[in-house]
Amino acid sequence: MASLTIRKLDDTVKTYLRLRSARNHRSVEEEVRVILRELIEGREEPLTPFSAPPEASPAPAPQRSSAVPEASVTLIIGGGIAAYKSLDLIRRLKERRIEVRCVLTKAAEQFVTPLSVSALSHERVYNDLFDPQSEFDAGHIRLARDCDLIVVAPATADLMAKMANGHADDLASAILLATSRKILLAPAMNPLMWSNAATRRNVAQLQRDGVLLIGPNSGEMAEAGEAGMGRMSEAIEIANAAEKLLRPPVPRPLAGKRVLITAGPTHEPIDPVRYIANRSSGKQGFAIAAAAQAAGAEVVLVSGPVDLDDPAGVTVKHVESARQMLDQVQAALPADIAIFAAAVADWRVAVEGEQKLKKTSAGMPPLQLVENPDILATISKLTDKRPPLVIGFAAETEHLIDNAKSKLARKGCDWIVANDVSPSSGVMGGDRNTVHLISKNAADNGEITVDSWPVMTKEQVATELVAHIVKSVTDKSLEPAS
């Protein structure tokens, strides 16, 4: 009978097998046998994603955005009194959507049981370097590398001494020597052990080696009457530190800035059932709102009728007509940056029919048009509440740059994003855009500069525009010249 070499399988299958076998408390080999048996009997378990939580999860994790990436930690529990806090740490990590695989030292088993640890982590526990069931394919290397971070809590004086000197005579120290992942230690020991010259040397060496430490804290010891430096950090502190390493905070260069954006078309009513509209989809304005929000800004998006979901974390005001849009824009002031990406109808009918207009023998209804308010010019020319940076969009079908330059001067805004919306460009309603950023900056003595960007997706245009805004608000020399 031919044997199967796990190493020759591709990585996705290997990872699936490892996680499934760990979840079912079986060796990978046994798991393969089970899968084959189930396949033959026609009742195989569906190939669930690796990150799917186990069905028997006792405590559902708090709701978090599905955008939060999955991460995994190998948690090494050393033999100290504080090991009991690591049971809580497992839960704290899991509620942050961090997978936890636990390794216990022999000494740790004197303080917490493998059963408690596996029940909380929903995984089998690893505790033996020479375990034939997990070592037939070098399981300790897997534990060292199939994770994003290694946390040692409690990190005993003994474990730190071993690490500092490169020992690998048990599973925990072998993993710590074989990893290229970041290591976070949560030391816990008696204050005299912590202040001992040997521990000091070992800690200094580990820090030189790039190992990270959280704590210890100062406080009461388990030993009666003893207090001082050596208490392990609380589980929540360790979980927060691990999460910060796994998901470093994203830069928020527009934090504290209020950005006002308009998007989409407007609908100008003719009568209760008919309206004048245009082909704007709102995609570009919505993409800018999402990009500004991701950069940390407080975003208000005033949108005409569109078929798009509201961007997460953005305050959206839905309107129909140009006049409603202007009202909502004015209500949203003051703002630091205003971006007018909406395709606002230039005209509306002078007298809106109160009832549906009827076909009559008298001929066509006279539809007289009147001008709509010019939102961009109105806000650009405000004296008191004018946002420091006002950006307009110019949708042109001919003489794009020249028309956009004269729009910049006419409207009194600071920048114009000009785009060709002739039908052949596919911009209106499409997913891509080719734009030219026309700006009047203090750095250029008020000279008008034209920056032509290559064809991009509307999301890329949004990201690029937000990057320019960030530069402008952080670099004073790029301030608009008004």
Hey, what's the torsion of the CAs at 249, 472, 451, 482, to 10 degrees?
160
Q: Considering the complex, state which of residue 110 and residue 207 has its C-beta at the smaller distance from ligand FMN.
A: 110
Instruction: Answer yes or no whether residue 216 interacts with ligand FMN by CB under 6 A.
Output: no
How far apart CA 318 and CA 248 sit, in angstroms, is: 35
Quick check: 78 binds ligand FMN (CB under 6 A)? yes
Q: Give the whole-angstrom CA distance, residue 458 versus residue 243.
A: 32
Angle, vertex CA 186, rays to CA 146 and CA 119, nearest 5: 55
C-alpha distances in Å from residue 449, one per residue of 340, 408, 439: 20, 11, 5
| DSSP-derived 3-state class of residue 134 | helix
Q: Is 359 annotated as a binding residue?
A: no
- What minimum distance in Å lies between the beta carbon of 132 and ligand FMN? 22
Q: Which residue carries 């005299």 as its tokens?
A: 192
Stretch that binds ligand FMN, among 26-34, 152-160, 326-334, 466-474 (CB under 6 A): 152-160
Q: Strand, helix or coil at 70?
A: coil
Q: Is 111 annotated as a binding residue?
A: no
Q: What angle do CA 268, 416, 263 make, to 5 degrees?
A: 35
The residue type at 19: L
Q: Where are the alpha helices (DSSP H) in 57-113?
A: 83-94
Name the residue nearer to ligand FMN (CB basis): 78 or 387.
78
Q: Which is nearer to ligand FMN, 193 or 333 (CB)?
A: 193
- Site size toward ligand FMN (CB under 6 A) is 15
Contact between 296 and 286 (Cβ < 8 Å): no
Closer of 81 and 141 to ligand FMN (Cβ)? 81
User: What is the C-alpha to C-alpha distance for residues 436 and 454, in angstroms, rounded to an integer?
Assistant: 9
Amino acid making up residue 75? L
Choosing from 87, 117, 150, 157, the residue that interacts with ligand FMN (CB under 6 A) is 157
Out of 99, 158, 268, 420, name the contact with ligand FMN by CB under 6 A. Answer: 158
> Judged by CB under 6 A, which of 27, 105, 118, 233 binds ligand FMN?
105
Closest residue by Cα to residue 242 from 86, 114, 109: 86
Q: Is 454 annotated as a binding residue?
A: no
CB of 80 to ligand FMN, least distance (A): 3
Q: x/- contact string, 405-444, with ligand FMN (CB under 6 A)? A: ----------------------------------------
Nearest 5°: the CA angle 112, 117, 126 is: 100
Q: Using the rule CB under 6 A, which residue among 21, 31, 71, 79 binds ligand FMN?
A: 79
Question: CA 184 → CA 176, 230, 323, distances in Å?
Answer: 11, 16, 58
Q: Considering beta carbons, is residue 82 or 478 the nearer one to ligand FMN? A: 82
Residue 375 is labelled as binding a ligand: yes
Among 18, 22, 71, 80, binds ligand FMN (CB under 6 A): 80
Among the listed residues 21, 281, 35, the one whose alpha carbon sits nearest the alpha carbon of residue 137: 21
Catalytic residues, by residue number, are 278
Question: H helices of 261-351, where?
Answer: 283-294, 322-332
Q: Which residue among 188, 242, 322, 391 contacts ligand FMN (CB under 6 A)? A: 188
Q: Is 193 in the site for ligand FMN (CB under 6 A)?
A: yes
Is 188:155 a contact under the CB 8 Å cutoff?
yes
Nearest distance from C-beta of residue 139 to ligand FMN, angstroms:
18
As measured in angstroms, the least distance from the Cβ of 120 to ligand FMN is 19
In the complex with ligand FMN, the residue whose CB is nearer, 159 or 242, is: 159
For residue 186, the minimal CB distance to ligand FMN (Å) is 11
User: What is the distance between the alpha carbons of residues 316 and 314, in angstroms, rounded to a whole number?
Assistant: 6
Q: Does 215 help bind ligand FMN (rule: CB under 6 A)? A: no
Is 356 annotated to bind ligand?
A: yes
Binding region for ligand FMN (CB under 6 A) out of 118-126, 157-165, 203-211, 369-377: 157-165
First to last CA, the chain: 82
Determine, following the binding rule CB under 6 A, whether residue 107 of this chain makes contact with ligand FMN.
Answer: yes
**Closest by Cα among 278, 281, 295 to 466:** 295
Q: Is 393 annotated as a binding residue?
A: yes
Q: Among the candidate windows 103-111, 202-210, 274-282, 384-392, which touches ligand FMN by CB under 6 A?
A: 103-111
> Which is closer to ligand FMN, CB of 147 or CB of 157?
157
Asked if 159 interacts with ligand FMN (CB under 6 A), we say: yes
d(CA 444, CA 436) in angstroms, rounded, equals 17
Buried b (16+ CB within 10 A) or exposed e, 306-319: beeeebeebebbeb
- Out of 153, 163, 189, 287, the only residue in the binding site for ligand FMN (CB under 6 A) is 189
Look up residue 207 and give its amino acid.
Answer: Q
Tell me if 304 contacts ligand FMN by CB under 6 A: no
> How do strand 212-213 and strand 182-187 relate by DSSP bridges?
parallel
Residue 156 interacts with ligand FMN (CB under 6 A): yes or no: yes
Scanning 121-129, 185-193, 350-358, 420-428 for contacts with ligand FMN by CB under 6 A, the matching segment is 185-193
CB atoms under 10 Å from CB of 233, counted, come to 23
- Residue numbers in the known binding site are 346, 356, 373-376, 393, 407, 411
- Residue numbers in the known binding site for CTP are 346, 356, 373-376, 393, 407, 411
Residues that bind ligand FMN (CB under 6 A): 78-82, 105, 107-108, 156-159, 188-189, 193
